[in-house]
């Protein structure tokens, strides 16, 4: 298995550097298969969402479509797939920040009663509590 960094995914999704996009496409076509998928960890996904939002000004719908495309790609393996699907749903339907949704779901999945935060926006989300 080969890990993929967020900048590889950005090139594939955004296509702002045609040469790097072609190189990334060729690499994935030649090296990623169902038996030996490209691995995408949770940090990479959070960094990807942040980059698409902040650097490229993608809409929430476009970001959700990009993540959905990654999730449905059979030659990519997503770390903690179930929690990513849940976080994506909260991001799309409930307006959660993707990373906050993922943090809350992962913490709950690991047995946490709540997630304590100083982030006032995150504290409004299910599973979070503001520390003041």
Domain positions in the chain: 2-130
Q: What is the pLDDT of residue 24?
A: 97
Q: What is the pLDDT of residues 32-81, one digit of tens each?
A: 999 999 999 999 999 999 999 999 999 999 999 999 999 999 999 999 99
Q: What is the pLDDT of residues 5-27, one digit of tens each?
A: 999 999 999 999 999 999 999 99
8 A C-beta contact, residue 60 and residue 91: yes
Residue 87 is inside which H or E element, if any?
A: helix 81-93
pLDDT digits (tens, 9 = 90+) for 84-124: 999 999 999 988 999 999 999 999 999 999 999 999 999 98
Query: What is residue 95's predicted lDDT score, i.e. its pLDDT?
Result: 87
């Amino acid at each position: 298995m080969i890990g993929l960094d967020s900048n590889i995914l950005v090139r594939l999704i955004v296509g702002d550097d045609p040469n790097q996009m072609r190189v990334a496409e060729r690499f994935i076509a030649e090296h990623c298969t169902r038996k030996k998928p490209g691995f995408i960890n949770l940090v990479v996904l959070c960094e990807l969402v942040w980059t698409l939002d902040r650097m490229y000004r993608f809409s929430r719908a476009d970001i959700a479509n990009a993540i959905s495309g990654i999730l449905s790609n059979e030659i990519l393996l997503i770390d903690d797939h179930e929690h990513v699907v849940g976080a994506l749903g909260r991001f799309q339907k409930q307006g959660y920040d993707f990373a906050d949704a993922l943090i809350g779901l992962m913490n709950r999945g690991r047995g946490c009663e709540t997630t304590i935060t100083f982030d006032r926006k995150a504290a409004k989300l299910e599973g979070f509590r503001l520390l003041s």
